[in-house]
Amino acid sequence: MRRELAFTLRAALFAMALVWPSASMLAHHSFAAQYDATRPIEMRGTVTKVEWTNPHARVYIDVKDDKGQTANWNFEMASPNILVRNGWKQNTVRPGDQITVSGYLARKGERMAIAGAVADASGKPLFVSDPTDIGR
């Protein structure tokens, strides 16, 4: 009985070791699955919110269109770890800051994109991603 239990436990642990990595790989999306490299954009606006979370930070900006209507855009960024390695802090951009974000539109979802570069109001680059940082 004891040998059977030990065998069963080892088999269960082995099965978990095989399944666990594949589950985490499936949980993370690829750039091509979520964003369209043929649809680049550039938006200027006012930061309304910054989310410093894993697996990706996000910055939301209010952008005015040609008619003066304001729409809130959601830009996915690299992970906080990558942003820190590129000199960012949690307060590099704050609500109220004017920024320009360039990137690629999402395949699904309104007013959503991935940020490839961020510049402050004067045009000074705050972040330019390496294509591997955004999954390309």
CATH number corresponding to 31-128: 2.40.50.140
pLDDT at site 114: 93
3-state helix, strand, coil in the chain (%, to 5): 25, 40, 35
Strand, coil or helix: 65: coil
Mean pLDDT of the chain: 81
CA–CA distance, 61 with 114 (Å, rounded to integer): 13
- pLDDT class of 69 with cuts at 50, 70, 90: very high
DSSP β-ladder status, 58-64 and 35-51: antiparallel
What integer is the mean pLDDT of 21-42? Answer: 70
pLDDT at site 33: 79
pLDDT tens track for 32-65 = 778 999 999 999 999 999 999 999 999 999 999 8
Pick from 135, 136, 110: nearest CA to 28: 135
DSSP β-ladder status, 112-120 and 70-76: parallel
Higher pLDDT, 89 or 14: 89
Higher pLDDT, 59 or 12: 59
What integer is the mean pLDDT of 78-102? Answer: 93
pLDDT at site 11: 44
Strands, DSSP E only, in 1-133?
35-51, 58-64, 70-76, 98-106, 112-120, 125-128
Q: Kindly give, in sequence order, each residue whose CB lies less than 8 Å from that of residue 103, ignoring residues fewer than 6 positions away.
A: 35, 40, 41, 75, 113, 114, 115, 116, 117, 134
Least confident segment among 1-15, 35-49, 80-94? 1-15
Residue 105 sits at φ, ψ, to 5 deg, of: -65, 150
pLDDT at site 21: 44
pLDDT tens track for 104-136 = 999 987 899 999 999 999 999 987 776 554 555
